A and B are shown apart, each in its own frame.
Chain A
Amino acid sequence: MKKVTFNERDMMLRVGFFVFVIALWHFSVTLLDISPLVFPAPWGVVVSLYQGIASGEFLFHTGVTLYETLMGFVIGAIVALVLGGLIGQIRLLEKIFYPYIVAFQAMPKVAVAPLFVAWFGFGVTSKIIITATIVFFPILANTIVGLRSAPREQIEMMAAFTASPWQKFLMVRFPHALPYIFAGLDVGIVLAIIGAIVGEFVGAQAGLGYLILQRNFSMDITGVFAILIVLSAIGIGLHTIMKFIAKRTVFWSETSEDLRQ
C-alpha cells in the first residue's frame, strides 16, 4: 500500500496560518475596541469554551445533537442504499421514482423542517427525521451512479465466465460502487450535522442548535462562538472517522479520494 508521507513544511505553513489569523483577530478586536457583544476576542472564546466543557453543559447538548446526527445519518443512509440499490439495478423503478425524488430534493429541507417539528414534536424524533431527509439524497445519487458505472469490460468478463446477473452485481457492480457510496456517505455525515442543527433551530428543548439560539437571545456572542468551535470539531471528527473507514474498506480505490473533494 502507498506510504503516506508526512509533509512537515505543509504542516508548518498550516499552523503558521492559524497563528496569523488568531493574531489578526485578536489585534483587530482590541485595537479597534470592538464590543464582545458584536465580535468577541479569541481569548474570551477560549474561556467560554472551557467553561462550557467544565460545567458539563456542552457534554449534554453535544450528546443530544450527536445522537440526532448519527441516528438521522444511519436511517437516511440505509433508506438511500436500499432504494439506490433497487433503482441502480431496475431501470423501470428509476423511471417511476426518480423525478419525485429529485422534486423532493429540490424542496429546501429548511423550509420543510417546521412541518416535521409540527408533526413529530419538539423532541429528538423530528430532528432525526429532518437529518435523514437531508442525508438521503447524496448517498442515493452516488449509489446509483456507482452501480451504473461498472466498466463494460468487467461485466463482459463476468459474462464470458457464465456469471448470472446476481453474480455480476455481487462480484463487480457492488464492489465497484463502494468508493462512490463512501463519497456519498462522507458528504452525508457533514450534512447530517446541518440537519440536526436546523431541526433544533426550528424548535427544540436541547442540543447545540438550541443552545446557540438561547445564547444569541441573551447576547452571549462569545458563547455562540464557543459552540461554533464545538460544532466544527464534531464535523471534522465525523469526517475523519468516515475517511478512515473508507480507506480501510475501499483500499484499492484511487478515485475515492478525488470523489470526496
Chain B
Amino acid sequence: MKNALSEGLDNTDSPCPAFCFQDVNKLYPSRDGLNVEALRNINFEVSRREFVTVVGPSGCGKSTLLKILAGITDATSGRVEINGVLQQGPSVEIGVVFQSPVLLPWRNILENVLVPAEIQKRDKKQSKDKAYELLNMVGLNGFETKYPKELSGGMQQRVGIARALINDPSILLMDEPFGALDAMTRESMNMELLRLKESIGATIMLVTHSIPEAIFLGDRVVVMSPRPGCVEEIMTIDLPEKRELSIINSEKFGAYDSHIRHALNSKVGLD
C-alpha cells in the first residue's frame, strides 16, 4: 500500500482535478412546505495537493458543501466528481475531520484512530503501526491508551485528524475543525496543519468562518455568501509557501482580508 507519509502520491501528474462541483444545488424541505435553498449553482474544481479554504458567514451552506463532498448528504441536483469519478456516497479516498472531534468515549485514543481502518477491514498490524506514526505526527505519542475525556479539546481534535488520515485518503476535508478552540490553541493548530500538509501530500478542503484563518491556510479561498449559499468569489492567495504567523501582519495579508470582508459585506451585514 502507498504510504502518505513518504511524500508524493503516485497520481500527482494525472490530469483530472482532485474533486470538482458541477452545478450543485441543495434544497432543504422546510416544515411550511417551502424549500430552503442551501446551495445554488456551485461550480469549482480543486487540483491535487491544493489546500483550498471555504469561508463565509454561518448559514452560507459551507458545511453542507463539505458534507455533500464527503457523501454524507446528497445534492438535490448537480454532479460531484472525485478523482474524475462520479461521487456516489462516502468514499475511502476521503478523510473527514468534524467540527466537534466526535471520538467514541469507550475507545482509547489508539482505538479511535483505528476506527476507519477497522471499517475497511485493513490489516491490523499495519494499521496499528500507521496509527502510532500518525499520533506521533500530530504530537500525541504516549497518549495511545488514554481515553477521550482525559484529553483537552485541542488534543481531541488532533486525534480526529489522525483518524481522518489512517486510511491514506487522497482528500482531507475539515469542517471548522478548530472552531471550538481558544484563539491561542487555534493559531498553533493552524501552524501545525501547514506543517502536516507538507508530510501527508493530500488535497485539503477546510471550511471556516474566520477570514484570517482562510487566508493563512489556503492556496485559494472560496468566498461564500448566504441565502442562497453560493460562491461569491474564488481568490488565489499569493503568499509564500512557507508561512509564519507573522505573515498575518503583512500588507498583502491585510489587503486579502479587507477584500474578502468587502465582498461579503456588500452581500450581507456581517456581525
Contacts and interface: CB of A to CB of B under 8 A. Distances in A.
Contact of A160 (B96, B100, B106, B120): B96
Contact of B96 (A157, A178, A250): A157
B104 A162 contact: no
B147 A252 contact: yes
B177 to A, nearest CB: 13
A34 interface: no
Looking at chain A's contact residues, is the secondary structure mostly helix, strand, loop, or mixed?
A: helix
Contact of A171 (B71, B94, B104, B149): B104
B102 to A, nearest CB: 5
B115 interface: yes
Given A252-B105, A252-B106, A153 B90 contact: no
Contact of A159 (B90, B105, B115): B90
Contacts of A115: none
A217 interface: no
Contacts of B119: 158, 161-164, 167, 171
Contacts of B71: 159-160
Between A154, A157, A167, A178, the greatest number of chain B beta carbons within 10 A of the residue's beta carbon is seen for A157
Looking at chain B's contact residues, is the secondary structure mostly helix, strand, loop, or mixed?
A: loop
Contacts of A171: 104, 115, 118-119
Nearest to B150: A1
Contacts of B96: 157, 160-161
B116 interface: yes
A135 to B, nearest CB: 26
Contacts of A163: 119
A161 B106 contact: no
A161 B90 contact: yes
B92 A162 contact: yes
A151 B106 CA distance: 14
Contacts of B70: 160
Contacts of A110: none
A178 B105 CA distance: 12
Interface of B: 70-72, 89-92, 94-96, 98, 100, 102, 104-106, 115-116, 118-120, 147, 149, 167
